[in-house]
Structure 1
Amino acid sequence: MTHDLILKGGRVIDPSQKHDGVLDVAFKDGKVSGFGKDLKGAREIRDVSGYIVTPGLIDLHTHVYWGGTSLGIDADAFCRASGVTTSVDTGSAGPGNWAGFRKHVIEQSQARILAYLHVSHAGIYGFDKRVMVGESGDLRLMNPIDCAAVAEANRDVVVGIKVRVGFHASENSGAVPLNIGLQVANEVGLPLMCHIDEPPPSYEEVLAMLRPGDVLTHAFRPFPNTPATAQGTVKPEVIAARKRGVLFDIGHGQGSFAFKTGRAMLANGFEPDTISSDVHALCIDGPAFDQVTTMSKFLCMGMSLGNVIAAATVNAAMALKRPEYGSLRVGSLGDATILTVKEGRFDYVDAAGEHLIGDRRILSEGVVLKGRWWHPKRTSKFPKAAA
Structure 2
Amino acid sequence: MKQTLKNLRVASGKRIDLSIQDGMIQQVGTLNQSDANEIHFPKDLYVSSGWIDLHTHAFPQFPPYCADPDDIGFKTGVTTVVDAGTCGADHIDSLYELSMKRKTRVLSFLNIARCGLEKTNELTDLNDISEREIEKAVQRYPSFIVGLKARMSASVVGSNNLEPLRLAKAVSYKLNKPLMVHIGSAPPLIKDILDLLDERDIITHCYNGKDNQLFTNEGKPIQALIQARKRGVSLDVGHGSKSFSFRVSEEAARAQIPFDTISTDIYSNNQLNGPVFNMATTLTKCLTLGYSLASVIRAVTETPAKLIGRTDIGHLRPGAKADLTLFKVEKDTSVSLVDSHGVVRQSKGYIKPFAVYLGGQYYEL
Scaled to the shorter chain, the TM-score interval is over 0.9
1:173 corresponds to which residue? 160
2:289 aligned residue (267, 279, 301): 301
Partners of 1:350 and 1:181 in 2: CA distance: 31
Bigger CA drift: 138-147 or 333-342?
Answer: 138-147
Kindly indicate whether the alpha-carbon contact (under 8 Å) linking 1:24 and 1:39 is maintained by their aligned counterparts in 2.
Answer: no
Q: Which of 114, 125, 133 is the equivalent residue of 2:118?
A: 125
How far apart, in 1, do the equivalents of 2:195 and 2:40 lie?
49
Instruction: Please name the residue that 2:26 is paired with.
Output: 33
Does the 8 Å CA contact 2:6/2:38 hold for their aligned counterparts? no
In the alignment, what sits opposite 2:215?
A: 228
Partner of 2:44 in structure 1?
50
| Residues 10-33 of structure 1, C-alpha deviations (whole Å, 9 max, x = no match) | 1123xxxxx641121121111111
- Partners of 2:62 and 2:93 lie apart in 1 by 11
Correspondence for 2:345: 356
Give CA deviations for 1:256-293 in whole Å, capped at 9, x if unaligned. Answer: 11111100000111110000001013311211111111
Distance 1:43 1:370 in 2: 17
Match of residue 133, structure 2, among 142, 146, 162: 146
Which residue in the other structure is 2:357 paired with? 368
The TM-score normalised by the length of structure 1 is 0.90
Secondary structure at the residue paired with 2:28?
Answer: strand
RMSD, aligned CA: 1.5
- Give the AA of the match of 2:160: S
Report what 1:381 is aligned to. Answer: none
Which segment is superposed worse, 359-368 or 228-237? Answer: 228-237
User: Could you tell me whether the CA contact under 8 Å between 1:162 and 1:194 is conserved in 2?
Assistant: yes
- The amino acid that maps onto 2:289 is M
Give the 3-state SS of the residue equivalent to 2:347 in structure 1: strand
Deviation at 1:236, TM superposition (A): 2.0
Distance 1:310 1:236 in 2: 27
TM-score relative to the length of structure 2: 0.95
Q: Partner residue of 2:269?
A: 282
Is 1:24 aligned to residue 17 of structure 2?
yes
**Among 289, 292, 300, which residue is 1:312 paired with?**
300
Deviations for 1:192-240, whole angstroms, at most 9, x for unmatched residues? 1111110111111111111201111111111312111111111221121
Match of 1:7 in 2: 5
- Contact kept, 8 Å, 2:184 with 2:210, in 1: the verdict is no
Q: Partners of 1:44 and 1:214 in 2: how far apart?
A: 43
Q: In 2, distance between residues paired with 1:254 and 1:43?
A: 44
Paired letter, 1:303? Y
Aligned counterparts, 1:51-130, within 5 A? 51-67=45-61, 70-103=64-97, 105-126=98-119
Preserved contact between residue 85 and residue 111 of structure 2 (Cα < 8 Å): yes
Within 1, Cα distance between the matches of 2:364 and 2:257? 35
Say if 1:26 and 1:39, in contact at 8 Å, map to a contact too.
no
Does the residue aligned with 1:356 lie in a helix, a strand or coil? Answer: strand
**CA offsets per residue over residues 112-135 of structure 1, 9 Å max, x none?**
111111110111123xxxxxx321
1:379 corresponding residue in structure 2: none
Partner SS for 1:344: coil
The residue type equivalent to 1:326 in the other structure is G
CA–CA separation in structure 2 for the residues paired with 1:359 and 1:81:
25
- CA deviation map 1:37-88 (0-9, x unaligned): 1354353524243211111111000111123554221111222332111111
**Mean Cα deviation higher: 3-12 or 244-253:** 3-12
Distance 1:69 1:141, change over 3 A: farther
SS in 1 for 2:73: helix
Ranges in structure 2 where 5+ consecutive residues have no aligned partner:
none
Which residue identity lines up with residue 292 of structure 2 in the other structure?
S
Match of 1:214 in 2: 201
- Structure 1: 5+ residue runs without aligned partners? 14-18, 127-132, 377-387
Q: Matches of 2:270 and 2:155 in 1, distance apart? A: 17
Aligned residues: 362
